[in-house]
Structure 1
């Protein structure tokens, strides 16, 4: 008896054909199970398409070197706007707007007060107060040798080095002051009472000319044409120059001239210049 066997490939083909028929029959049924199956297969197809689209977008961004930046990173470097509150520093008003990277800079001769000077200063402020003129104590005593200018941060070191080179040949000298005078800033927002330098004025003038050369090198404002060098004792807000001169100055000068130890004379040893830029202070010693 002869028995005919089909090949394995024919069996697999017949089985695959039967499975396709069963699958078509199931997906085309109108019953509830068939409907749910149809919806499920469509949803899977849609999700698959969406996933492919998203993958394509990521691949496109990677191909062009661009990836989405998270919001947390974007907000890390948001620059806060500076609000200047004059009430926090005695009503003083800035000469120029604060800007990140700008450093307020000036050159000066420092003066370290002694006990006699501080006691006399208290007497001067008390007398001015009795004459309806309130003076705020100066925080640091010095003789200004430049205007306050603006330096960018990367200019600071070259600027200081230029000053040191220009002043290398300057010798130190003494300064004396005994006469009171009244001063105002350029904006007329503050009025100062100061002791005007008499002895040493010519040397200070020569010193400012040397400093001006560095200012011109960096295209900054030079010092005043006819400066009155002085040490500020106190200040008040606003333009009070006329009132201070007419009401207070004669009596305050009389206080200094009739000091118990004789006419007061302020001595400032000019051996060291300082350049203050922002919160940094650089010393330049004279020979």
Structure 2
């Protein structure tokens, strides 16, 4: 993990890929001319590239970035989007009362990371998008099962998280990530963690509180599984799309 969550490191975005999803009132314009990459990047609403950016941790609940903004570098993340049901969200919030330290529920979008937060060079973007799209077209849809509650820290050990582990019994996700790692080496980018545990982070606190939160995971796992027995529709995450976020651009690729 990084100092901030992958999505939190990336600013608000809009979709601009040929495979991006559009809502009903946009469908009538889907055949309109679009600027090709990388020219379209000039229209992004990210940080102006001529300005120096200073991080103020007081604006991010004490969190700090694991890397600074640099001209020509684009924060990048490959992930699975997760939208919890109202019941699941209520269960996540209830955990705040179960832990002995002050924690926060994630305010950003819930997701399952499939890469580290990567630093992509401007001139890599077009080929990187195409590589990801091609891999998605070759990957079958699959399902993940929610299982255990686990505690995690980021690499700098400045934040600690509780997450719900997600298991792919058919191995499709492992195969996908291995192939992502292969093309990451072409860009001299780091692969996903060797001891990767696919999970949905839902609670966090500042500092290294791994020991304290790890002590809570057994009890919370029991309660989670009791919840899943009563709400069987929430046990599985059906994965039909992969998300790629580069700066403040989002690409959504369908699996076959």
TMscore range, shorter length: 0.7 to 0.9
Match for residue 218 of structure 2?
250
Q: Which runs of 5+ in 1 are unaligned?
A: 1-77
Greater RCO (Cα-Cα under 8 Å, separation 6 or more): 2
Match for residue 38 of structure 2?
none
Matched, 1:102 2:70: no
Rounded to whole Å, the distance in 2 between the matches of 1:117 and 1:255 is: 12
Q: Which runs of 5+ in 2 are unaligned?
A: 1-48
Once the two structures are superposed, the pairs formed by residues 11-90 of structure 1 within 5 Å of their partners are: 79-90=50-61
Shift of 1:191: 0.8
Matched, 1:282 2:251: yes
Shift of 1:260: 8.8
Match for residue 119 of structure 1?
90
The 3 A distance-change label for structure 1 pair 283 and 80 is closer
Give TM-score scaled by structure 1 length: 0.67
Q: Among residues 252, 256, 267, which one is paired with 2:236 in the alignment?
A: 267
CA contact 2:76–2:245 (8 Å) conserved in 1 = yes
Q: Which moved more, 1:133-142 or 1:185-194?
A: 133-142
* CA distances 1:176-224 after superposition (whole Å, capped 9, x unpaired): 0121001111111111100111244722111101111221122211111
Q: CA RMSD in A?
A: 2.2
Q: Which moved more, 1:237-246 or 1:132-141?
A: 132-141
CA contact 1:273–1:283 (8 Å) conserved in 2 = yes
CA contact 1:197–1:230 (8 Å) conserved in 2 = yes
Match for residue 67 of structure 1?
none
Match for residue 153 of structure 1?
122
Q: Secondary structure at the match of 1:283?
A: strand
CA contact 1:175–1:201 (8 Å) conserved in 2 = no
Give TM-score scaled by structure 2 length: 0.74
Rounded to whole Å, the distance in 1 between the matches of 2:255 and 2:229 is: 32
Shift of 1:80: 4.2
